[in-house]
């Protein structure tokens, strides 16, 4: 495990939902509608999440989210290791 990974703090429940939606490709407006927040609030939550996870941007966040929890039609198969 590299030092960057060790410094990452645990992800909160609200951030889990955010990670999932970002990995699915939703915009801030779409995420806000699903989470009951304004696009500006989503932007702030994203910024906080980047800092907490030591990630530079949305692309890195989406990649991180997909590495933790596969999404899409093949997600169940990937999780099972089939």
**What's the pLDDT at 60?**
95
Domains annotated on the chain, with CATH: 10-80 (1.10.10.10)
Q: Which residue has the higher pLDDT, 1 or 13?
A: 13
**What's the pLDDT at 76?**
47
Q: What is the tens place of the pLDDT at every residue in 58-75?
A: 999 999 998 886 555 545
80 pLDDT band, cuts 50/70/90, is: very low
Say how far apart CA 30 and CA 50 lie, in whole Å.
19
Q: What is the tens place of the pLDDT at every residue in 7-60?
A: 556 678 888 899 999 999 999 999 999 999 999 999 999 999 999 999 999 999
């Amino acid at each position: 495990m590299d030092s960057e990974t060790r410094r990452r703090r645990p992800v909160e429940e609200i951030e889990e939902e955010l990670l999932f939606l970002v990995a699915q490709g939703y915009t801030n407006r779409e995420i806000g509608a699903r989470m009951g927040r304004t696009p500006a609030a989503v932007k702030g939550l994203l910024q906080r999440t980047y800092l907490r996870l030591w990630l530079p941007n949305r692309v890195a966040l989406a990649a991180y989210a997909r590495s933790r929890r596969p999404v899409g039609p093949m997600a169940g198969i990937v999780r099972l290791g089939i």
